[in-house]
Each structure stands twice: as C-alpha cells, then as structure tokens.
Chain A
Amino acid sequence: MSLLELQDVEVTYQRRGRAPVRAVAGASLTIGPGEIVGLVGESGCGKSTLARAAAGLLAPSSGRVLLHGQPIAALSRRARPAREVKLQMVFQDPYSSLNPRRRIGSQLADALRINKLMAPELQRARVIELLEQVGLPTDAIDSYPHQFSGGQRQRLAISRALAAQPEVLVLDEPLSALDASAQAQVANLLVNLCRELGIAMLLISHDLAIVRQIADRISVMYLGVVVESGPTEQLWTDPKHPYTEALIGAIPHADGLGVKPRALRGEVPDPAEPPAGCRFHPRCERAFGKCSAAVPDLISLDRDHAAACWLHDPEQAPQPSPLKDAAGDSH
C-alpha cells in the first residue's frame, strides 16, 4: 500500500502573452511507508515543480496526488485539512526558510501550536525532544538562526517539519546548499529518521551520487517527464535510459585517477517548446528515426525497473542489445 501516490501529474504554468509551459508533463510516483524515493534531474527538468505538487503547494493541472489513497487539496487561503498535516515539506535554503528574528524554540513551538498538537505547557518538552531527534543541543531553543551553521539550520528546518509528526516528507534539494561534511551529516540523519520513525520521503536533488547513497528507489526526470525509475542499485549499475547513463558518466570521482567526467552534448531545451518524440533525442547519442517521431512510454523492463526509451522496444530498436554498463566502463 502506497502512502503517497502521484498519478500522471501535469503542471502547466500560464504566461501572459506567451505559450504556456508544461513544467511537468505527466509524472507518476509511489512512495511506501519508511521508503526514500529520490527524484533526480538537472535544473529546469520540473523536479521542484513536481515536489510542490506532491506537497500540495500547487494544484496539478491534471492528474492526482493521493495521500493514503485520498486526493489531497492544493493549498488555498484556508487552512489545510488536518489529515494533510501528515504531509510536510523541507526546502533547499535553510537561510531563508527560518525566520532570522525569532528564537528557535518559538519557531518550533509554532508548528505545535498551529496544528493544536498539544497543550502549551507541554510544548517546551516536545521542542527539546525535536531538537534531540535531529542531533542538536537542547540549548538551541533560546538561540537565533544566525548562530547556527548551514548544516545545523537544515536540521532545524527538518525538526520543524517533524513537529507535525509527518508520515510523508517532501524534501526539495535539502543537501545542495551544504558543505561536504554537513551534507553527510544531514544525509545520515534523513536515513535514520526514515528507518526509526518510518517516515516516507520524497528526496528531490540534482546530485545523483548523493541520492544513490540514501534512496531506496530513484526516478530520473528530463524536461518534465520521468524517463527512468527503478531500485537504486539496479538503476545505478544498469541504467536503461541514455540520459541516466549520461548523468552517471558526468559525475566527477574523487579517486585521484584523474579521469575526466563526460559531458553531455547540447543543452536542456526550452520546456515551452519541447522536442517532438522523445524529449531527449536531440542530445542522445543513440537516437534513431523513431525517437524524433513518437513519444516512448515508460515501460516496465524488469519488475520495478522502467524506462521510456525506444531502444527497449523490441519492434523498433535497431540493435536489440541492452545498453552497456555505464558505471563499469567509465574508467
């Protein structure tokens, strides 16, 4: 049973005097309890838009977002329905997501107060518990955000989301503003929270290498569509979509071998005018006739592993041979 389910979600932004942009052009995802699903892609691929739709911050123009099988209502001027409080979001920049002029304790207590989770006299004890949960000293309660480093602030942002005792956390680039050592701390914290509290997480990131360390499953997005999804190790060692393969090949390795990462030719096209057929075909080294003519569906190749690529269509592919192992041959 999936906790959060996105069914064919589309998000279109209207622009005055110009063609609308379909930032997300039909994406489906499911996340089960205690599962971390990574959503990976480059800037402009629609991953943050999808994250906002998943958290109910904006309404999909078509498709549905289900929490416990019930469609969620996009945030409006009125309060969220109580059951949607179980769906929380953490943002990229812990400098702008915390109020610089209020003490940490009162910012965390807000979450308890607004959601009427407990009596005021019990709130302080709960705030201390929340700080401990994310590995911060309890005297942080009387401090201001500027007294903390980036990594600590991100922990504070996470603890505020935890105040609502969420079942699902949507995290939009929670690690990318952080230095390497803080990044590892927060990444490990997320995994622990997920395992200990059974929270389901949707982790949005541009960094496939870090997502691979923490996610159970990964979906790769390109220009508004999911092009591949599968269990983390399977997707990493045996990518089925040329874009996933290119993403893996572009990661620089800190192994001292001096291997140059591989660049991907061309650039991400304007999402307002996506290429016909497979959206990746102008940059794909394996593209053939069919790719520019027809849109490939996301088809299941091996249990949970699915890819949207004509290479895997037995009737269409010029060479039926599977993609070579990208991770193995990159040296």
Chain B
Amino acid sequence: MSLLEVENLRVHLPGASGPVTVVDGVDFAVEEGQVFGLAGESGSGKTMSALAVLGLLPRRAQVEGRIIYRGRDLVALREREMRSVRGREIAMIFQDPMTSLHPMLTVGRALSEHLRQHLKLSRADAQRRAVELLEEVRIPDPEGSLRSYPHHFSGGMRQRIAIAVALICNPSIVIADEPTTALDVTVQAGILGLLDRLRQENGLSVLLITHDLGVMSSIADRVSVMYAGRIVESGATAEMMQRPRHPYTEGLLSALPHPEAGDERPLVAIPGSPPAPTDPPPGCRFHPRCTYAVDSCRTQVPQLVEVDARRLACPVDPLAVKV
C-alpha cells in the first residue's frame, strides 16, 4: 500500500466561459522513502495536482477523484480536519523561498512559532529544536542564523531554511514544487543532495514537481510525465530517461541539451506549443504536435495502460515504430 495514492484526480477552475479542466483524470502514488516526480512543462497541471493534495486550490476550484493518505481520503476532509494533515503529515516547499518565508520574521521566530504552535514546545525547547533543524539542512552557524532575517541569506540558503520550516512537524511527505528552479546549478546540486539525504536518513518521501528532466533524473525513483492535464507516461526514472516510449517524453528529452553527448547532436524541438486549457484538442491532446500520430489519435483518448512495467497512454509506441 502506497503512502499517498491519487486516483482519477480532476481539477476544474472557473473560467470566463464555464469551468476549465486543468487536471483531467490523474493517477499517481508516492511510496514510503521514495522520490516520486511529476514532470511536464508549464501549464501541464503538475502544480495544480500538488495543490489539490494539500487542499490549497483556490476556493472556487472543483476537485473530483480520491487522494488517499494513510487510508483517509483527503478530498472528503473538511478544512478543519485538513489542517491536521497539512504541514504536519504533508508539508510543502515552494519555488521561491523569498516569498514563502516571512520577510519581517527572523529565522528563529519563523521556526519557533511553528514549533510552539504545532508541537506545544516550551520557548527553550523550541529554540533548541530550531537549531537542530538548521543543522539538519546544513546552515552554517545555526545559533547566529536564528537572529537573521531571510534577506540576509542567499537563494540557496533561503531554500534550505524553507526546507527546515517544512521539516518542523516531521512530516512523512514533502511536496517540493520546482525547489531548485530559481537557483544556480552549483547551488541546485546542494539542494538536491540535501533532499536525497533526508530521504535516505529520515525516510522522508518526496513528491517532486519539476520541468527539468535533468533534476528528475538525478533524484527521482519514479516519474510521471504530464501533458495538458493528463499523465502520458509513468515508470521508473532510469527506464523512462533511457527508453522513453511516449512521443512527448521522447520529444522533451530530445529537446534538452545532453551534456554527455558530442556537440554534433542538435536540439530537436517539438513543433508547435501546448494547447490552451480552455481549448484542448480532441483525442490524444498531444496529437497536433506528434510526428507519429495516426487517424485514431485525433478522435480517441488513449488510456494509460500497463506496458513492460510502465504505464503508457499512446497506441503508437515510438520504440515499436523505430525498431
């Protein structure tokens, strides 16, 4: 049994001309102590799926489907019940730590406020625990840092502090939404190392959301690739990166610079752009951009089916076509 199971999740947001479906029947599972990745370009619905898990969608959003965490369906919870899950059992790290940390609170105050509120620790205990948390995320001079404000730190250090805040209640899952996108590569490597260590040493599970398949490849155990609100392919990361089977996954990988390849390998762009969520094409949503598309792709919605330990929503398998 997975720690978190999302089944047939649909999210509709209010639009100018009726509801717009931004997540359309998504299934995924986060296993204990693993990093599960949701990949896809902007607008593919990956962040909306994550916000649905935490009940953080805009008030007028409609959510359908089931989100099962330790036997409880989070979709059915009232807001008050959700508060005992959010932050305590499932915490979140956002892309921009400058906006997720309160600029007017010292790091010590930000941490100890949560510790005292959620865990009812005494002032002295909260202080001690705050220092431990900062040590855990490798902030140099943790005691001194308690008196500093977020703007005193660099982007990488701020993201470490945001991770420390997320770890306060010892959650079993952390949702990390593009946690390294705003950072330089040399700093990104450190944050990825930190998440990996927390997973190894503390058994933390991570739901990692990123558009960067390089980041995904270096840390995620399993990946689902989303396109226009649907999952098109899921599987073990290594398999997916080495042998992509959905034309979109294949296209994304060919569009990336491959540092290990020779310089003759050109970037192969996917033609066109993703559809607007208000006007998705019929059939397979990727078909207008797909070089393998056949007639049935234009009319029939491909289902995610089990193929060699992978789940694939494409009747035309590029591997099969090429061989």
Chain A contact residues, CB within 8 Å of chain B: 42-43, 149-152, 179-185, 187-188, 206-210, 212-213, 232-233, 236, 246-248, 250-264, 267-268, 327, 331
Contact = CB atoms under 8 A, between A and B. Distances in A.
B211 A253 contact: no
Interface string B289-316: 0000000000000000000000000000
A243 B51 CA distance: 38
Contact of A180 (B187, B213, B238, B263): B213
Nearest to B261: A255
B41 A180 contact: yes
A191 B147 CA distance: 50
A188 B267 contact: yes
Q: Interface residue tally of chain B, by bracket? A: 35 or more
Nearest to A41: B184
Contacts of A247: 185-186
Contact of B214 (A149, A253, A327): A253
A268 B189 CA distance: 15
B213 to A, nearest CB: 4
B188 A261 contact: yes
A252 B268 contact: no
A187 B267 contact: yes
Given A180-B255, A251-B214, 9 more contacts: A151-B273, A180-B252, A206-B184, A212-B263, A252-B217, A256-B240, A260-B219, A264-B186, A331-B260
B185 A251 contact: yes
Contacts of A43: 155, 184
Nearest to A236: B263
B269 A181 contact: yes
Interface string B223-238: 0000000000000011
B215 interface: yes
Interface of B: 41-42, 154-157, 184-190, 192-193, 196, 211-219, 237-242, 251-260, 263, 266-270, 273-274
Contacts of A150: 42
Nearest to A262: B189
B251 A181 contact: yes
14 contacts: A42-B186, A181-B41, A187-B269, A188-B269, A209-B214, A212-B257, A213-B266, A232-B263, A247-B186, A253-B218, A255-B217, A257-B238, A258-B238, A260-B189
Given A250-B188, A258-B237, A259-B218, A179 B263 contact: no
Contacts of B193: 260, 263
B185 A206 contact: yes
A254 B258 contact: yes
Contacts of A264: 186-187, 189
Contacts of B258: 253-255
Given A209-B259, A212-B263, A254 B219 contact: no
A264 B218 CA distance: 16
B127 to A, nearest CB: 26
Contact of B259 (A180, A253, A256, A258): A253
Contacts of B255: 180-181, 183-184
Contacts of B267: 183-184, 187-188, 213
B217 A184 contact: no
A210 B266 CA distance: 11
A244 to B, nearest CB: 11
B192 A261 contact: yes
B158 to A, nearest CB: 11
Contacts of B188: 250, 252, 261
B156 A252 contact: no
B186 A258 contact: no
A258 B222 CA distance: 11
B150 to A, nearest CB: 15
Contacts of B269: 181-182, 184-185, 187-188
Ranked 4 nearest A-B pairs via Cβ: A256-B241, A252-B214, A263-B190, A264-B186
A260 B260 contact: no
Contacts of A252: 185, 188-189, 192, 212, 214-215, 217-218
Nearest to B155: A43
Q: Which of A181, A250, A258 has the most CB of B within 10 A?
A: A181
Nearest to B267: A184
Nearest to B251: A181
B270 A181 contact: yes
Contact of A254 (B189, B241, B266, B268): B241
A190 to B, nearest CB: 11
A37 B183 CA distance: 24
Nearest to A328: B260
Contacts of B155: 43
